């Protein structure tokens, strides 16, 4: 399933980036050498970050 349509990033790619230490959507974009465009995916990315890493920093 695509999380970020603008950059063609899937949920598996986002989860993989989180597992490698990405804790913010901006870090996930950078991990795949992309940048936010419309920004609509940030909500879903934050949900995945919170699910994978339920620490206080995950909500930032």
Contacting positions for ligand FES (CB under 6 A)? 4-7, 36-41
Distance in Å, CB of 16 to ligand FES, minimum? 16
Cβ within 8 Å of residue 21, ≥6 positions away: 27
Q: 10 vs 55, which CB is nearer to ligand FES?
A: 10
Q: 23 vs 42, which CB is nearer to ligand FES?
A: 42
Distance in Å, CB of 40 to ligand FES, minimum? 5
Q: For residues 38 and 3, is the Cβ–Cβ distance under 8 A?
A: no
Cβ within 8 Å of residue 37, ≥6 positions away: 6, 7
């Amino acid at each position: 399933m695509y999380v970020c349509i603008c950059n063609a990033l899937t949920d598996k790619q986002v989860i993989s980036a989180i597992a490698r230490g990405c804790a913010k959507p901006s870090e996930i974009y950078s991990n795949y050498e992309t940048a936010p465009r419309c920004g609509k995916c940030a909500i879903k990315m934050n949900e995945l970050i919170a699910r994978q890493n339920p620490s206080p920093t995950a909500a930032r």
